[in-house]
Amino acid sequence: MKHLKKRLYLLCAVLLLVGSLAFGEVTSGSILLLDGGYYAEGFDLSQVEFYSYADTTVADINGAYITSVWPHESSIVNLNSGYVAIYNSVNSPTINVYGGTLRSLFQTDSSVANLYGGQILNIMSFESSIVNVYGYDMEYIPLEEPIASEIGGGPVNGFLTGFWRDGTAFSIELSDWRLVDGPMDNPITYDHINLITIPEPGTVLLFGLGGMVLGRRRRG
């Protein structure tokens, strides 16, 4: 497992370089920390590392362009808008993705990711980590043979497709380290993913209209 993590960190470094070359280091946007704790900030918001000890560090990312985010302990990161090239969890942090773009989601240890919207390009999850995906018409498309990642991540063994609550379509690469190191006692990334189906927008509207009609009949 130590060798696995070393390879993971090496891959993160490569992705970090690719992201920096492709998008540069943009300092627009804001990062808001709540509930105590502290964070170490890299150069020009290019890298932000979150720590949490007695309290929980909560970071709201709104419109920022960040090369990498490395949350520790029980930190919570909310991505509302903006761009994060690499998210690499340590220990048991949680990320909630509501919008924006997350290029690479690396889940390790007992970390949790809740995906509600936005654009997620690649997921790699192992150990005891969990990824909860909230959407509808979701489908896992496994590949007979692994292919190269379009963003430079690990070998892709499948795609997760579907729609977010607002009707936006998504397609996410699922990478798997077992394709690099061979068989190992670790489930593939898809085995770490929970698909949580939510009602389609049209269904919610129909229920709402039905309730209004029923209410009017009762009053009549």
In the prediction, which pLDDT does 162 show? 98
The pLDDT confidence band at residue 73, using thresholds 50, 70 and 90, is: confident
The pLDDT confidence band at residue 128, using thresholds 50, 70 and 90, is: very high
In the prediction, which pLDDT does 164 show? 98
Higher-pLDDT residue of 78 and 183 is 78
Residue 130 has pLDDT above 90, yes or no: yes
- What gap in Å lies between CA 16 and CA 153, rounded to an integer? 11
Q: What pTM, to 2 d.p., does this model score?
A: 0.76
By C-alpha distance, which of 68, 5, 72, 78 is closest to 41?
Answer: 68
Distance of CA 132 to the CA centre of its chain: 9
Domain ranges of the chain: 2-219
Contact 40, 20 (CB under 8 A): no
The pLDDT confidence band at residue 16, using thresholds 50, 70 and 90, is: very low
Within the chain, strands assigned E span 30-34, 38-41, 47-51, 58-71, 76-88, 94-97, 101-107, 112-115, 119-125, 130-147, 156-163, 169-175, 193-197
Q: How confident is the prediction for the chain on average, in pLDDT?
A: 75
